[in-house]
Structure 1
Amino acid sequence: MTCPLCKNQESTSFIGINDILFWKCPSCYLIYKDQSYHPTPNEEELRYMHHNNNSECEGYVDSLNQALEPSLSYIDKDMVGLDFGCGPEPVLAKMLEETGAECYHYDPFFFPELPDERLDFVISTEAFEHFFQPYKELNLITSLLIPSGTLSIMTHRWKDDTNLNEWWYMRDQTHVCFFHDKTFEFICKKFGFSLEYDDGDKVIILRKVVAWEF
């Protein structure tokens, strides 16, 4: 099976939660769900609509702050950025605008228009695990950033000691790929990023250090 991130063709399969077929790449350490278990677009949208992800939900706002607070060290008031994968309500973009920065918002289901200008920063919270084609999505995100722009990502990472047969993060029907520390090492090398910040669990901030050739 070909890895949807690094294109290695030697991924190994295993049966995980709910008897779902997963693949693990030995090169970039991405774990990804077999395509036969991917949700349909209607299933995805319905699931996202049932999330309680709005500005009135204190728990959701607290979760966003886990990515926003470390990101603010790299964001000035005159910068322009993007909330990538914002869902039906762009809460994070509004939180950023309260700090003085300008922030667009994008979601393939709810806000499918991308900005024309290149951006100083992109923040993507709980979206990477939904990427069917992470190479394609990272290609897009990288192209949106100016050189020296930052990419903040919040997604739970699997570790070498993670029990993949019981890990709760794999239970969500719309979660189709799962990242490891070594996956982000590959991303940095392949897409021209440096590591700026890592909380060791789910928030990581990268800086674009080279012009990416498409």
Structure 2
Amino acid sequence: MSSCLPALHCPLCHAPDHALFHQDRRRYHRCARCRLIFVEPGQRLAQAAEKAEYDLHQNDAHDAGYRRFLSRLAEPLAARLAPGSEGLDFGCGPGPALAAMLNEAGFMVTTYDPYYADYPGRLQRQYDFVTCTEAIEHFYHPGREWQQLLAMLRPGGWLGLMTKLARDQAAFASWHYKQDPTHVCFFSRDTFMWLAERDGLGIEFIGADVILLHKPESL
């Protein structure tokens, strides 16, 4: 554990053992247990500044290019779902294109976002699938939010994620993904493998940035 920051714990698995992984305008630590890379809490944006950054995003639900991007998750997920499955798009943002695409494909999808679709009641029930695209890297409390995502899955349900995966230190140093000030935690393949093993989930990596996790019927 870093001797100068004895109180700093991993926000995902809460382990105290970590090391400074990279430093530029922010300081990034990597957990020795789950391998999550995370920004020091004091270097996260305040809520108003975070919302202002999100308001700059141009994610039009009707944009063909954006839909092609999201299809990298939508298509493999849809292939694994029963017709008429119910789902929640968690962190949908101001333009919930993925929910629209899956609804058009015959599924029943609702949305949740703390800034743009803040309906807490939708988090109190279970679904056949939950999606979270380009949102998990924004979580200030990923351990808590990960458990929330799993709790919303029915037995046999699917969790579909999109996020860029962190690699080694050399790649991280020049990685554009960390330059977004709202990106505060960075998952690697090792991190998702660790979570899947801990929580008894099936896992599939599809392409460079799509992760599908399956909750067993027995959970």
Range of TM-score over shorter length: over 0.9
Shift of 1:58: 2.6
Range 170-179 or range 65-74, more displaced: 65-74
Q: How many residues align?
A: 210
TM superposition score normalised by structure 1: 0.92
Alignment partner of 1:192 is 2:194: no
Secondary structure (helix, strand or coil) at the match of 1:103 reads: strand
Alignment partner of 1:163 is 2:171: yes
Instruction: Tell me which residue corresponds to 1:205.
Output: 212
Instruction: Tell me which residue corresponds to 1:73.
Output: 79
- Residue 38 of structure 2 aligns to which amino acid in structure 1? Y
Instruction: Tell me which residue corresponds to 1:177.
Output: 185
Q: How big is each residue's C-alpha offset from its partner over 1:68-108, in whole Å with a ceiling of 9 and x where there is no partner?
A: 11111112222100111000122111111101110010001
Instruction: Tell me which residue corresponds to 2:37.
Output: 31
Instruction: Tell me which residue corresponds to 2:4.
Output: none
Secondary structure (helix, strand or coil) at the match of 2:20 reads: strand
| RMSD (Å) for aligned C-alpha atoms | 1.6
Give ranges in structure 1 of 5+ residues lacking alignment.
Answer: none
The partner residue of 1:8 within 8, 15, 18 is: 15
Instruction: Tell me which residue corresponds to 2:64.
Output: 58
Does the aligned pair in 2 maintain the 1:142–1:191 contact within 8 Å? no
Closer, same or farther: CA 108–25 of 1 in aligned 2, 3 Å: same
Shift of 1:161: 6.4
Q: How big is each residue's C-alpha offset from its partner over 1:187-206, in whole Å with a ceiling of 9 and x where there is no partner?
A: 112333111x2124210100
Alignment partner of 1:46 is 2:52: yes
Secondary structure (helix, strand or coil) at the match of 1:74 reads: coil
CA distance in 2, matches of 1:74, 1:181: 21
CA distance in 2, matches of 1:198, 1:131: 21
Instruction: Tell me which residue corresponds to 1:87.
Output: 93
Secondary structure (helix, strand or coil) at the match of 1:28 reads: coil
Give ranges in structure 2 of 5+ residues lacking alignment.
Answer: 1-7
- Residue 154 of structure 1 aligns to which amino acid in structure 2? M
Runs of 4+ in 1 over 4 A off after TM superposition: none
CA distance in 1, matches of 2:33, 2:157: 27
CA distance in 2, matches of 1:100, 1:53: 22
Range 24-33 or range 73-82, more displaced: 73-82
Shift of 1:211: 5.8
